[in-house]
Structure formats: C-alpha cells, structure tokens
Chain A
Amino acid sequence: MEFKDLFYYPFILGAIYLFGVVIWRFTKWFIGLSKIDKIRVRIGLFSKKTLKSIWESIREGLLHRNVFRNNKLLGYMHMSLAFGWFLLIVVGHFEASSYHGSMFFPFQHSVFFRYYVTDNVDFPGHVFFAYAMEILLFFVLSGVMLAYFKRFRSKAFGMKRTTRMRYGDRIGLTALWLIFPMRFLCETFTAGVYHNGSPIFNNIGDAFASLGNLEPWLNPLWLTYSIVLGVFFVALPYTRYMHIPAEINLIFLRNWGVTLKERRVNTYTLAQVYSCSRCGICIDACQLNLAGIKNSQSVYVLKNIRNKNLTDEVLFNCLICGKCQEACPVGIDVNKLRITQRIETTRQYNSSYDYLKTSEAKKTDIVYFAGCMTHLTPAIKKSMLQILDAAGENYWFMDENKAPCCGRPLMTAGQFDAAQKLIDTNTKMILDSGAKKLLVTCPICYKVFKEDYTLPNVEVVHHSEYILDLVKQGKITLKASDKNVVYHDPCELGRGSGIYDQPRELLSQSVTVKPIAHEREKALCCGGSLSNLKISMDERSVLSAQVMNEFASYNPDYVVTSCPLCKKTFAKTDILPVKDLAEVVVENLTPRS
C-alpha cells in the first residue's frame, strides 16, 4: 500500500468513532426520556417545530447570535470557527463534486482535496472554488488567532474570568487549535510545489519554496493534518466540544416540548449538561464571585454533574437568582437543573409536618397572605393593611396569627415532598374562604402560589399589581412628591415571574424612578436569597453592600423594592434608606374626601 492510501486513516477512523459515540449517546438519551416526552417528540417531528429548530440550529449553532449579543468579538470568534468550518466542509464537498462530476465519492477526497488533485485540471468553477476555499480558511484562521489571543487577554472579549479546564479539554483544545494552521501549511506547501491553488496560496507557496525544497515536507504535513483531525474527533465526546452535536440535539428536543420533569433526574438532564460549551459567560454573570465563591457557578455544576462528582457544598451554594440562565447563550435551564439535583440529593430526608392543622377559614373576597418574611418586616404588613382599609376592601388576613410557610424555601432546597404538605394545608384554607383573589406581599410566596398551587378561580396577585389596580379603579388616590428613587427588581418577582412594569408604573404615580444600569432582566440579587444554603452572613453582606453602593451612585432619596427579604437584607447595610412599595404608597396616600 502506498502513502496516499494510508494517510487519511486517522481522520476516517476518528470520524467513524465520533459518529458512533454521538449516535449511541443520542439514542440512550432518547430512550431515557419519559413516556410523555417521547410522545411530544413524535408529534413534534413532523410539525413546524422541526423547521423552527433547523433555523435555530443555524442561528445559534453556526452564527452564534446569542454570543454576539454578549460581546461582538467573542461572537465573531465562535462564528468564524463554527460557521467557517461548516462552510469549508460544504464548499469543499461541492468543489470535489464538481471535480468528480458526481455527488458520490470517497469522503477523504473532499477533505484532502488539494492532496489528491495536484494537476491543474480544468473542472467547472475551479477558479471560484480555489478562491472561496482559501478565503474561508483565512476566515476560520482569524477565529483561531482570536482564540489564542483570548487565552492571554480574555478581558478584550468582555470576560473577566474564563472556565478552568480539565486535562481532556486541553487535548481537545490543542487539537482544535492545530487543525486549521496545519491545513494552511499543507495547502500552501502543496501549492508551492504544484501550483494547484488560487494565486493567493500559490504565491504564499512560492514564498515558502524560496526557503528550500518543499516536496519532502508534503507527506508528513498531510499525515499530521489527518492525525490532528482524528485526535480531535476521538477527544470530542469526552471534552466540552461534545456541546457541538449536543447543542443541536438540545435545540430540537426543547422545541419539540421536552421538559425537565420536575422531581426526577432523567436523560434530558444529560442532554442539557452535555450541551454546555463551558464558554464561561455564566461565570461573569454570577455575583458570588464578589464574595470569593468561585466553584459553584453553573458551568461548574454542569461539569460536576457530567463527571459525577457534584457535592452538596457546590450544589447548594447558589442564590438561584437566575442571572446565569438569562446570560446563557445555549439557553440551558440551569435553575431547574439545579433544583432537580437538589431534589435528588435530599430525597431521603423529607419531613411530613404531621402537626399541621387547618383552622377555620373566614368567608371573604380577598385573602391576604403576608408570609414569613413580611412578618419580619412589620412596616410592610402595616402599610398593606392600611391600604386595604383605605380602599374599603373586604379581606381576610389569613396568617395574622398562625399559618404554615408557603413552601417555596423548602422547594428551592429540594424538599418537594415536604413542601407538598404545606401546600395542601394552605390550599384548603384559601379555597375554604371562597375568595376570588389571593394577595401576597412577598415575591417568594407569589411565585409558589402562582406556579405550584392548584387554586381554581383564585387570582394570585402581588401587591404591586394589586395596588396599581386599586389606583386605576380610583379606590385610592396618590399625590405626587419630588422624591427620586431607585427601584430594585427582586429576583423572584422579576426574572422569576416576569413582573417589571407594574411596580414602576405604580411608583411613577408619586415619585420619580431613576433608570439604573442593572435593572429588569439584568437586576442584581440583594444577596439575601434563601435558595443559597451554604453562603455565610459575611459573604451575603459583601453582595448586598455592592448592590447598595451601586444604587447610592445614582443619589436617590431612598431605594424601593417589593420584597420583604430584599428590604431586610438591604437595610442591614445601612447605606441608604430602603422602603417597600406599600410604604411609599401609604406615605403618598390622599385621604378620601
């Protein structure tokens, strides 16, 4: 056998191995999905959702729109590598097809086209293809150069910190970094000997040829190129580069409606975990960095799940504020993933709360549930009751003296079975009252009542929505004041429940809300989140002080929030006065004539 029949084997074997592993994993993941998810896939397969997924795969998998949004240079780097490589393969295939006069020929003939075709044959479009392929290679190489550069100066890419790598990742990374420079050397050297490229490569080849005889270099170079490709393909399933096929798979599954079935870890977890490219965008989004916590960011949790070495210390050290989920370019549902893992690790020790008894419910129109946190901030409770009285509403203060917790703190700690008992008790009380509305002054309660309780014909309202409604109905009137305030979006209300406008609209009735850098989806966490079981009080104060100092830079008269926990946490910093929405309303309430 001659060299030309052998050198491409590392590439071909690597590619076959890669496809084998990827297909094996995708099959395993599909089989592990729940029955209902499989039905969803079957229904979705021949629907518009598939077309949508194809478009999304091109947009995210090749063009990387979401990374562009984060940082243009980072986006260009990812796009040039992914889209450029994709085009190299496609255009390369057309070039070889044109040469062979058929779409079917051995695969290696398109990948190593310049090795095989050294005579200047005149096939249709050969000038166009030569130029196109060389320009595309420069396009990809520009991305590789940026990748080298990023290792030394990630700040230029808008990233303060990048992900720590595993040993296997380094092998994959090295192979990936070598592929395109190798290809460049192979093709220019070959062009230097045979002049089979476009004028660009022929000239570069001639320049190389002026240094010495290039011919003995050709075979070793092409063999190295083939080996580098092979190594990358074999390493791919075991490194972060598995995200390339997995992300496409995830886009399709997600669009077909597959969800992470709460309470159970299933193979959809793996489908998501393997889709993480460890780009590290979530690391900068995480506020815990400020407190010196550097091992529990989403990228590391996903990595730990994949490597099966996730510890409680890492898993529970997260505010579940949702900032990383907002930033994730792959759209991985990190919060849900993390909570499912928490459910799994605490499954063995759920409580039963046998002592819970339902007391008699009062017949009413509106049930007011203050929640544990509001009881710790009596000013909010008092203001809310004052507003209810001023509006002349018929209400029942459900947990005035005694009531269980809403269950959300248990749920974020993974204790779903335990929380169910609290949910059942509260549900009975609320339904017994015959109320049409459930009013809450705490976003934590709001989220759980809205999402996890079954309350037919009961509208769950946060006090920001409720008071705004009262104003619109004319039941209360507010006077304007000259105060300037900063509004803080609580995580559970903003990113958690999508309520951004109502509090601002309500506030604008009486005060001026200053726009700030981190607001709405980008709002910072106050640091008090109950979802983090591991963070110490000192670390929490670092976070809240940082947020308050940012607020202080806008010189507001005071900070307004709509969450008792945020208020309590901020108040501890003693940097600016903090008020709840309800308090601001009460201050500006005009007595009814």
Chain B
Amino acid sequence: MDFGFSTLEARSIDFDKFDGRILRYVLQYEPSLLVCLSCGGCTATCSAGNLTDFNIRRLQLMLRRGEVENLQTEINKCMLCGKCLLVCPRGVNLRNVVMLIKKALVHFKNQEN
C-alpha cells in the first residue's frame, strides 16, 4: 500500500522478529541501562573495540530493538576491563549489563532445551 511516504529499513523495527526477553532480563537487574543516551563514549574508549569491531553502543541499540541473533558472538568480545564504566556520562553500569546479557543468553537457551 502506498501511504505517500517510505520508511528506512534501518529505522524500522520488525515486531515479528522482536525478542525482548533479554532486554527485560537485563533491565530487571540493571535499570541504569535505561538512561543510556547512546553517546558512544563507551565504544570510543573500549579496549576490545580497539582490537576488533566490537561496538558496545550498537549492541545496546540491537538489544533495545530486540535483535538478538548476533548478540552471543558480539558480547563475548568484551574483556570486562571497565573503561566504559569510567567514561560513561550517565553512570550506566555497563559491565554488569554485559555479564547479565551473557547470563541471560545461557538462561534462555537452557529454558528452551
């Protein structure tokens, strides 16, 4: 149907593919993720991001958009060094977010089996 305007695919969320379980799990234990303003400071300083294409800011966006297919391989690149924590202007406890995502992935995988 033509509404007279089009949407950019990168900006649309496909609710058929939306998986909010991990996001809800993380927010339950680390609500500080809610105040993230996606400034990207964490990614700029990231030790793992210096060595590979790891992008914690993008991961955060993916998580919020319920796109969790690549989450497992991506999140495992984090070395937990804690630099993101110190540069974050909003005080998001990112290391805990990373650990919670890792835990949630195992948690929901075990649940499915």
Query: Which residues of A are interface residues toward B (Cβ below 8 A)?
Result: 312-313, 316, 346, 348-349, 351-353, 355-356, 372-373, 375-376, 401-402, 404-405, 407, 409-410, 413, 415, 422, 528, 530, 533-538, 565, 568
Contact = CB atoms under 8 A, between A and B. Distances in A.
A182 to B, nearest CB: 50
Contacts of A316: 96, 99
Given A346-B99, A349-B105, A530 B51 contact: no
Given A313-B29, A530-B95, A537-B91, A356 B51 contact: yes
B82 A409 contact: yes
A349 B106 contact: yes
Contacts of A533: 93, 95-96, 99
Interface residues of B, number: 28
B18 to A, nearest CB: 23
Instruction: Say whether chain B's binding surface is mostly helix, strand, loop, or mixed.
Output: helix
A536 B32 contact: yes
B60 interface: no
Nearest to B95: A533
Given A355-B51, A538-B91, A405 B103 contact: no
B51 to A, nearest CB: 6
A346 B105 CA distance: 12
B27 interface: no
A372 B45 CA distance: 9
A404 B51 contact: yes
Given A348-B106, A351-B77, A537 B93 contact: yes
Contact of A346 (B29, B50, B88, B103): B103
Interface string B22-40: 0000000100100000000
Given A346-B99, A533-B99, A376 B87 contact: yes
Interface in B9-62: 29, 32, 45, 47, 50-52
A415 B80 contact: yes
B79 A409 contact: yes
A568 B45 CA distance: 15
A9 to B, nearest CB: 52
Contacts of A373: 81-83, 86
B96 A534 contact: yes
A335 B59 CA distance: 32
Interface of B: 29, 32, 45, 47, 50-52, 76-83, 85-88, 91, 93, 95-96, 99, 102-103, 105-106
A81 to B, nearest CB: 42
Given A372-B82, A410-B80, A568-B86, 19 more contacts: A346-B99, A348-B106, A349-B102, A349-B106, A351-B76, A351-B77, A351-B102, A353-B76, A372-B81, A373-B82, A376-B45, A404-B79, A405-B81, A413-B99, A530-B81, A530-B85, A533-B96, A537-B88, A565-B86
Contacts of A565: 82, 86
B52 A405 contact: no
Contacts of B78: 351
Nearest to B101: A349
A177 B106 CA distance: 49
In the A-B complex, the 8 residue pairs with the closest CB atoms = A537-B91, A351-B76, A405-B81, A372-B81, A349-B102, A355-B52, A405-B79, A530-B82
Contacts of A353: 76-77, 79
A348 B108 CA distance: 13
Contact of A422 (B29, B79, B103): B79
A402 B51 CA distance: 7
Contacts of A568: 86
Contacts of B82: 372-373, 409, 530, 565
Nearest to B53: A355
A405 B91 contact: no
Given A402-B51, A533-B96, A409 B29 contact: no
Contacts of A376: 45, 83, 86-87
A348 B47 CA distance: 24
A405 B77 contact: no
Contacts of A313: 29
| Residue among A372, A373, A407, A413 having the largest count of chain B Cβ atoms under 10 Å | A372
Contacts of B93: 533-537
Nearest to A347: B106
